[in-house]
Amino acid sequence: MAEYMAQGKKPEVLFWVGCAGSFDDRAKKITKAFVKLLNKANIDFAVLGTEESCTGDPAKRAGNEFLFQMQAMTNIEVLNGYEIKKIVTACPHCFNTIKNEYPGLGGNYEIMHHTQFLKSLMEEGRLKVEGGKFKGKRITFHDPCYLGRANGEYEAPRELLKKLEVELVEMKRCKSRGLCCGAGGAQMFKEPEPGNKDINVERTEEALETAPKIIAAACPFCNTMMTDGVKAKHAEDDVQVLDIAEMIANAEDL
Amino acid sequence: MQYIPNILFIIALVAGIGYFAMNIRKIIRNIKLGQEVDASDNTAQRWSNVVRIALGQSKMVVRPIPGLLHVIVYVGFIIINIEVLEIIIDGIFGTHRVLFSILPAGLYNFLIASFEILAFLVLVGVILFWTRRNIQKLKRFWANEMKGWPKNDGNFILYFEMVLMVLFLTMNAADQSLQSLGAAHYVQAGSFPISQFIAPLFNGLSEGTLIAIERGAWWLHILGILVFLNYLYFSKHLHIILAFPNVYFGKVVPKGKFKNLDSVTNEVKMMMDPNVDPFAAPAEGATEAPAKFGASDAMDLSRIQLLNAYTCTECGRCTDECPANITGKKLSPRKIMMDTRDRLEEIGKNINKNGEFKPDGKQLLDDYITREELWACTTCNACVEACPVSIDPLSIIMDMRQYLVMEQSAAPTELNVAMTNIENNGAPWPYNQMDRLNWKDEN
Ligand code: HEM
Ligand code: SF4
Ligand code: SF4
């Protein structure tokens, strides 16, 4: 972004990479896949790079409002400094926080989740989504809580999957009644409370009941949780966990 | 002497309604112990929610069987109340089936016939509800927090409704027999599609016995209604009234939007503004930081959250969809609501006794809701989505976490590590912020 600024240019959209997308090895693959798609569609985009910092979502949901607002205001200062209007992110948690909780602190942006953004590119004809090697494959989609229930977006990811011409089989609990993967509310960063099962295993079992070739995800944290779940069930040789952006990029071997 | 029944009736009516009004006032007082909230926004959305979710029962029918049964009981109850109006007028003035003399005969007969059919449907509905609880033993009615009073309460309500409906039909059946005997005072009125099947049981009874049955059923029915009315305060059945205001005050912003604490905003702004002298005395009239961040007791919660607690029907749909609960964790969003109500009632009783709240060495946190429950929540909003009366258990969990972290620094160790990382590295993991763009050049 700093480079854009130096050249006095403004990008069409800012790609908010998020912590997972920046640091987590698995999530970085999603980041790269999404960037390939952005390049393919000739989108003029920028990233904040080292000026990006955690949105504060895990802090807020852990109960640390102070740390959350520190993070939020620092980020808002940077974003407003660059006069950012439009943001896209591949993380539903970043999406939710920037969409719902930043405006009250002075950060007003048009923010889209990457599935929404890709869908709009597809509708505008700027990006072609074709089945390719996924055509006819049995796939189930896991709704991220912070995209679905939290913000009411159930259709964008499904429409992309439809374009990929997959055979979409829904799990018993899906859309507004979808079961959480277990990562939200800062659970990602701690051991679960005592119980009789891990939430990600419960959810993975439900996904495996649909006998999918691929479990499609739209959140880096869900992705980790489901990947771990698949490993716990020793199903990693038969079932892959892939982000929708990765699927679209892979479909045409980008 | 002939006015004794009227006088007794009026006394019962005034006592019944009076005691109920007193308890309602207590509820309002207790709710006002909570923090004020501004809910003057989105009025149109709020009213439309009342119409769709409360009146229209839209979230009840997400589960079709209990949803349909409930619609029957709910519609039946509301419509049969027109008959209660007639009963009250009759009781006060000593008339009998007064509406028959006012309304066209055809309409009156139609109404009575509809009440009978509805009463029968309600009876069937309630019996099915009972079997779901006690024979089928649906899991959500047999969870840990549903032992003892909550379990009995659920059944009492159903017995109450059964008895009231049977009394209503018995009354009509006896009335019918009396009408065919041509008994004085018993006008030929009404049409009885259901109780006509009960009436033959009364064949051969004397007029005196029939009158005793009819009057007995009539009195027990109306007294039963008055007792039931007063039972509400002690029961989860309070929802039949509070569901409406509660849905009105339900969350109208996206479920993922959690409120930002304004007091923190001021503080953070001060810290980030280089022009502010951190040692300067606070400006005159500047808002003081609140006494406390988050919630450790019922009074720290908002009035809407307290209304939520009184409204909860203990149906367990929230807990049934809670990922933590499903996987055997202690957390149950229904229990969060029940605990909040119990604690609020305890505070209310304390005030009744002492005139004001005398600290009792207890609080909602730890004495009712444990930390283990609070930390098990994934903030997934499944409970909020599931609740048919727009209750938000998650908001209480969040407020209590806030108290734990901001007032007591009592987060689980791993979370403290993650938060320190966010503070120092701008990410919940121990990576260097300068490495954020490394993915760009990796393959
Ligand atoms: C105004 C008249 C109403 C009556 C007479 C009534 C009656 C009842 C009864 C008898 C039950 C117990 C069912 C059982 O044992 O499982 C019940 C439960 C319940 N009612 Fe109502 N209700 C009324 C209004 C409402 C309204 C407006 C709502 C809001 C949508 C509502 C929501 C519920 C819920 C969520 C339950 C828990 C039942 C379940 O899911 O199993 N009720 N009601
Ligand atoms: S938000 Fe928390 S309490 Fe509610 S269903 Fe999800 S995990 Fe359970
Ligand atoms: S909070 Fe709502 S869903 Fe949960 S038990 Fe109470 S009424 Fe039912």
Tokens of A212: 């999918």
Residue with CA at minimum distance from ligand 2 atom 6: B380
Looking at residue B62, the DSSP 8-state letter turns out to be: G
3-state secondary structure of A138: strand
CA B53/CA A6 separation, integer angstroms: 54
- Average pLDDT of span A209-229: 96
Ligand 1 atom nearest residue B130's Cα: 15
Residue B4: pLDDT band (50, 70, 90) is: confident
Q: How far is B53 from chain A (nearest CA, A)?
A: 16
* The pLDDT of residue B285: 47
- Secondary structure string (H, E, C) spanning A154-223: CHHHHHHHHHCCCEECCCCCCHHHCCCCCCCCCHHHCCCCCCCCCHHHHHHHHHHHCCCCEEEECCHHHH
Interchain contact, A195 vs B411, CB within 8 Å: no
Interchain contact, A73 vs B254, CB within 8 Å: no
Tokens of A60: 């807020």
**Mind giving me the DSSP string for B180-231?**
HHT-TT--S----TTGGGTGGGGTT--HHHHHHHHHHHHHHHHHHHHHHHHH
Residue A7: pLDDT band (50, 70, 90) is: confident
Q: Which of residues 104-143 of A touch B (CB under 8 A)?
A: 104-105
Interchain contact, B435 vs A23, CB within 8 Å: yes
The tally of CA atoms less than 13 A away on the side-chain side of residue B60 is: 20
Ligand 3 atom nearest residue B386's Cα: 3
- Closest partner residue to B437 among A50, A70, A193, by Cβ? A50
3-state secondary structure of B283: coil
Query: B237 — alpha (psi -120 to 50), left (phi > 0) or beta?
Result: alpha
Chain B residues with CB under 8 Å of A192 CB are 327, 329, 376
3-state secondary structure of A139: strand
Distance (Å) from CA A238 to ligand 3 centroid: 40
CA A253/CA B44 separation, integer angstroms: 50
| Domains recognised in chain A with CATH numbers | 2-121 (3.40.50.1860), 129-251 (3.40.50.2300)
Q: Among all ligands shown, which has an atom nearest to the Cα of B53?
A: 1
Sheet holding A214-217, edge to edge: A167-168, A138-141, A214-217, A240-243
Residue A175: partners with Cβ closer than 8 Å, 6 or more residues away: A143, A148, A154
Residue B288: pLDDT band (50, 70, 90) is: low
Q: Among all ligands shown, which has an atom nearest to the Cα of B322?
A: 2
Q: Which of residues 23-62 of B touch A (CB under 8 A)?
A: 62
- The mean predicted confidence, pLDDT, of chain B is 92
Chain B residues with CB under 8 Å of A145 CB are 378-382
Distance (Å) from CA B376 to ligand 2 centroid: 8
A86 touches chain B (CB under 8 A): no
Interchain contact, B261 vs A152, CB within 8 Å: no
B203 touches chain A (CB under 8 A): no
Which residue of chain B comes nearest to A102, CA vs CA?
B260
pLDDT of B330 above 70: yes
- Closest partner residue to B406 among A21, A50, A64, by Cβ? A64
Interchain contact, B382 vs A53, CB within 8 Å: no
* The pLDDT of residue B348: 96
Beta strand A214-217 with A138-141: parallel, antiparallel or unpaired? parallel
ipTM, two decimals: 0.94
Render pLDDT for B62-89 as a digit per residue (tens, 0 to 9): 999 999 999 999 999 888 888 899 999 9
Among A82, A8, A7, A98, smallest CA distance to A47 is for A82
CA B116/CA B76 separation, integer angstroms: 10
* The pLDDT of residue A1: 61
Q: For the CA atoms of chain B, what is the radius of gyration?
A: 28
Burial of B36-46, coded b for 16+ CB within 10 Å and e otherwise, reads eeeeeeeeeeb
pLDDT of B243 above 90: yes
B289 touches chain A (CB under 8 A): no
3-state secondary structure of B343: helix
Rounded to 5°, angle at Cα B161 from B79 and B31: 80
CA A57/CA A17 separation, integer angstroms: 14
* The pLDDT of residue B184: 84
- Closest partner residue to B428 among A58, A100, A151, by Cβ? A58
Q: How far is B385 from chain A (nearest CA, A)?
A: 7
- Average pLDDT of span A96-125: 96
- Average pLDDT of span B121-141: 94
CA B112/CA B82 separation, integer angstroms: 10
The residue type at A121: L
Residues in chain A: 254
Residue with CA at minimum distance from ligand 1 atom 39: B315
Chain A residues with CB under 8 Å of B381 CB are 145, 149-150
Q: Among all ligands shown, which has an atom nearest to the Cα of B314?
A: 3
Q: Where are the beta strands (DSSP E) in B217-295?
A: none
Interchain contact, A22 vs B379, CB within 8 Å: no
Position with higher pLDDT, B266 vs B340 = B340
Residue B385: pLDDT band (50, 70, 90) is: very high
Residue B290: pLDDT band (50, 70, 90) is: low
For helices B4-31 and B207-231, angle between their N-to-C axes, nearest 10 degrees: 20
Q: Among all ligands shown, which has an atom nearest to the Cα of B305?
A: 3
- Average pLDDT of span B305-329: 97
Which residue of chain A comes nearest to B268, CA vs CA?
A70
Residue B284: pLDDT band (50, 70, 90) is: very low
Chain B residues with CB under 8 Å of A21 CB are 439
Rounded to 5°, angle at Cα A115 from A1 and B251: 100
Q: How far is B50 from chain A (nearest CA, A)?
A: 20
- Average pLDDT of span A122-137: 88
Interchain contact, A54 vs B426, CB within 8 Å: yes
What dihedral do alpha carbons A192, A195, A197, A200 form, nearest 10°?
Answer: -30
Render pLDDT for A25-57 as a digit per residue (tens, 0 to 9): 999 999 999 999 999 999 999 999 999 999 999
Distance (Å) from CA B24 to ligand 1 centroid: 19
Q: Among all ligands shown, which has an atom nearest to the Cα of B65?
A: 1
- Closest partner residue to A50 among B255, B434, B439, by Cβ? B434
* The pLDDT of residue A201: 95
* The pLDDT of residue B269: 84
CA B257/CA B396 separation, integer angstroms: 14
A190 touches chain B (CB under 8 A): yes
* The pLDDT of residue B228: 95
- Spatial contact of A111 and A88, defined as CB atoms under 8 Å apart: yes
Which residue of chain A comes nearest to B427, CA vs CA?
A54
Ligand 1 atom nearest residue B155's Cα: 15
pLDDT of B280 above 70: no
Furthest CA-CA distance within chain B: 101
Residue B216: partners with Cβ closer than 8 Å, 6 or more residues away: none
**Mind giving me the DSSP string for B426-437?**
SSSSS--GGGTT
Interchain contact, B331 vs A193, CB within 8 Å: yes
Ligand 3 atom nearest residue B387's Cα: 3
* The pLDDT of residue A128: 87
Which residue of chain B comes nearest to A146, CA vs CA?
B256
- Average pLDDT of span A217-233: 96
Residue with CA at minimum distance from ligand 1 atom 25: B240
- Closest partner residue to B429 among A19, A71, A197, by Cβ? A19
Q: How far is CA A132 from CA A129, A161, A164, B111, in A?
A: 9, 12, 7, 65
Residue with CA at minimum distance from ligand 3 atom 2: B387
Residue B1: pLDDT band (50, 70, 90) is: low
